[in-house]
Amino acid sequence: MTDQETIDRARLLFVGDTQGDRLAREVIGIAERATQQRDELQELLTPLRDAVLFARAQRRPMGIGQDFPRAPSCVSIQLGAEYGRERDNVGFWIESDDIAHTDTESPSPCHRIGLALIRLAYAVRSKP
């Protein structure tokens, strides 16, 4: 049974006008809002999860003579504060000279993850 099915069944169960039923309907409302927020968060995180899974699928064994398991960085992300009181001011800026808006299908896992992080930051700030 899914969360939504449980909430729907609970709503059908507490239809009376007693104090307990009213309280139960308030709790059901809280559960609905929490479920909706969880679903929105999962939707925001999906591109980042996909980019990380793509990077994990690209793992390769260390090469002969390679003495360190990490490659040099291939993406740099800059982050800074943005000042002002306008409603469209997000309070920060985040960008990268290495990443293009078309890098969602890039063969580079670094570019995919970087773009997903930038988009996630701006998507989260636009949520109430």
Does residue 67 lie within any of the structural domains?
no
Residue 66 pLDDT class (50, 70, 90 cuts): low
Residue 101 within any structural domain of the chain: yes
pTM score:
0.66
pLDDT of residue 32: 92
DSSP of 5-20, one letter per residue? HHHHHHHHH--S-SHH
- Domain assignment present for residue 81? The answer is yes
Which pLDDT belongs to residue 19? 92
Share of the chain above pLDDT 90, in %: 19
State what percent of residues in the chain have pLDDT above 70.
Answer: 93
Residues 118, 99 contacting (CB under 8 angstroms): yes
CA 119: distance to chain centroid?
9
How high is the pLDDT of residue 15? 87
Q: For the chain, what is the mean pLDDT?
A: 85
Tell me how many domains the chain contains. Answer: 1
What are the beta bridge partners of residue 44?
none
- Domain hosting 83: range is 3-62+72-125
Confidence label for 82 from pLDDT (cuts 50, 70 and 90):
confident
pLDDT digits (tens, 9 = 90+) for 9-63: 988 889 888 999 899 999 999 999 999 989 988 998 999 999 888 888 877 776 6
Is residue 83, in this structure, part of any structural domain at all? Answer: yes
Alpha helices in 1-128 (DSSP H): 3-13, 19-57, 109-125
Position 128 pLDDT exceeds 70: no
At which residue do the structure tokens 């909706």 appear? 36
Instruction: Specify if 121 maps to a domain.
Output: yes
Is 95 part of a structural domain of the chain?
Answer: yes
Residue 24 lies in a domain: yes
